Chains A and B, each alone.
Chain A
Amino acid sequence: MAEGIKNKVAIIGMGCTKFGELWDKGSEDLMVDAFKEAIDDAGIEKKDIQAAWLGSHFEEQNIGKGATALAQALKLQFIPVTRTENFCASGSEALRGACYAVASGACDIALALGVEKLKDTGYGGLPGSPNLMGTKNRLIGANMTAPGAFAMLATRYFAQYGLSPEEGKTMLAKVSAKSHHNGALNPKAHLRREVSVEQIMNAPIVAWPLGLFDCCGVSDGSAAAIVTRADMAKKFRADPVYVKALQIAVSSGEELMYTDWDGAHVETTVRAAARAYEEAGIKNPREEISMAEVHDCFSITEAVTMEDLQFSPRGKVKEDIDAGRFNLDGEQPIQTDGGLKCFGHPIGASGLRMMYEMYKQLQGKAGERQVKDPKFGVTHNLGGFPAMNVISMFIVGL
Chain B
Amino acid sequence: MPGITLYGAYVPQYRISRNTIFSAVGFLGTFPSPGEKAVANYDEDTVSMAVAAAIDCLNGMEREKIEGLYLGTTTPPYAVRQNSGIIAGALDLQPNIRTADFVGCTKSGTGALLSAFDAVKGGETSNVLVCASDYRIAKPGGALEHLYGDGAAALLLGNDDVIATLEGHYSVSYDFPDRWRANTEKFEHAWEDRFIRDAGYTKMIPEAIFGLLKKYDLKIQDFAKIVYPCLYPREHAAIAKRLGADPSQIQESTLPSVGDTGSASPLMMLVAALEEAKPGDKIIVASYGSGSDAIFFQVTEKIDKVRDGRGAKKYLALKKELSSYEKYLAFRNVTSMDTGMRGEENAATSMSLLFRERKTVLSLCGSICKRCGTPQYPSQRICVKPDCGAVDEMEDYRFSDKKGVLFTYTGDNLAASIDPPAMYGLVDFEGGGRFWFDLTDCSLDSLKVGMPVKMTFRRKYVDEPRGVHSYFWKATPLSA
Evaluate contact between A387 and B426: CB separation under 8 angstroms: yes
Evaluate contact between A136 and B436: CB separation under 8 angstroms: no
Least distance between B219 CB and chain A CB atoms (Å)? 56
Evaluate contact between B357 and A139: CB separation under 8 angstroms: yes
Given that A128-B345, A207-B410, A259-B434 are known contacts, is A140 also in contact with B360, CB under 8 Å in the complex? yes
Binding site for B on A (CB under 8 A): 122-123, 125, 127-131, 135-136, 138-145, 147-148, 151-153, 155-156, 159, 204-210, 252-254, 256-260, 263, 387
* Seed contacts A135-B350, A139-B353; 4 additional CB < 8 Å A-B pairs: A123-B342, A151-B410, A151-B412, A209-B410
- Verify if B432 is at the interface (C-beta below 8 Å from A): yes
Chain A residues near B374 (CB, 8 Å)?
A: 258
Stretch at the interface among B53-61, B144-152, B379-387: B379-387
Least distance between A149 CB and chain B CB atoms (Å)? 8
Contact among B349, B415, B421, B436 with A139 in the assembled complex (CB-CB below 8 Å): B349
Evaluate contact between B436 and A208: CB separation under 8 angstroms: no
Least distance between B397 CB and chain A CB atoms (Å)? 12
Q: Enumerate B351-369 residues with CB–CB distance to A below 8 Å.
A: 353-354, 357, 360-361
Evaluate contact between B341 and A122: CB separation under 8 angstroms: yes
Given that A258-B376, A258-B385 are known contacts, is A207 also in contact with B436, CB under 8 Å in the complex? no
Least distance between B461 CB and chain A CB atoms (Å)? 9
- Verify if B22 is at the interface (C-beta below 8 Å from A): no
Chain B residues near A254 (CB, 8 Å)?
A: 384-386
Within the assembled complex, what's the spacing in Å between the Cα atoms of A258 and B422?
25
Given that A131-B347, A152-B410, A258-B374 are known contacts, is A143 also in contact with B417, CB under 8 Å in the complex? yes
Evaluate contact between B345 and A205: CB separation under 8 angstroms: no
Given that A128-B342, A130-B347, A258-B386 are known contacts, is A142 also in contact with B437, CB under 8 Å in the complex? yes
Given that A145-B414, A152-B426 are known contacts, is A207 also in contact with B421, CB under 8 Å in the complex? yes
Query: Which residue of A is nearest B388, CB measured?
Result: A258
Least distance between B296 CB and chain A CB atoms (Å)? 44
Evaluate contact between A256 and B436: CB separation under 8 angstroms: yes
Chain A residues near B341 (CB, 8 Å)?
A: 122-123
19 cross-chain CB contacts under 8 A: A129-B345, A140-B360, A140-B378, A140-B472, A142-B438, A152-B410, A159-B449, A205-B411, A205-B413, A206-B412, A206-B414, A208-B444, A252-B386, A257-B380, A257-B433, A258-B376, A258-B384, A260-B386, A387-B436
Query: Which residue of B is nearest A131, CB measured?
Result: B347
Least distance between A390 CB and chain B CB atoms (Å)? 18
Within the assembled complex, what's the spacing in Å between the Cα atoms of A257 and B368?
12
Contact among B377, B407, B424, B425 with A257 in the assembled complex (CB-CB below 8 Å): B377
Within the assembled complex, what's the spacing in Å between the Cα atoms of A128 and B361?
22
Query: Which residue of B is nearest A385, CB measured?
Result: B436
Given that A139-B472, A257-B377 are known contacts, is A207 also in contact with B386, CB under 8 Å in the complex? no
Chain A residues near B412 (CB, 8 Å)?
A: 143-145, 147-148, 151, 206-208
Evaluate contact between B408 and A156: CB separation under 8 angstroms: yes
Chain B residues near A258 (CB, 8 Å)?
A: 374, 376, 384-386, 434
Chain A residues near B470 (CB, 8 Å)?
A: 139
Given that A123-B340, A259-B432 are known contacts, is A130 also in contact with B410, CB under 8 Å in the complex? no
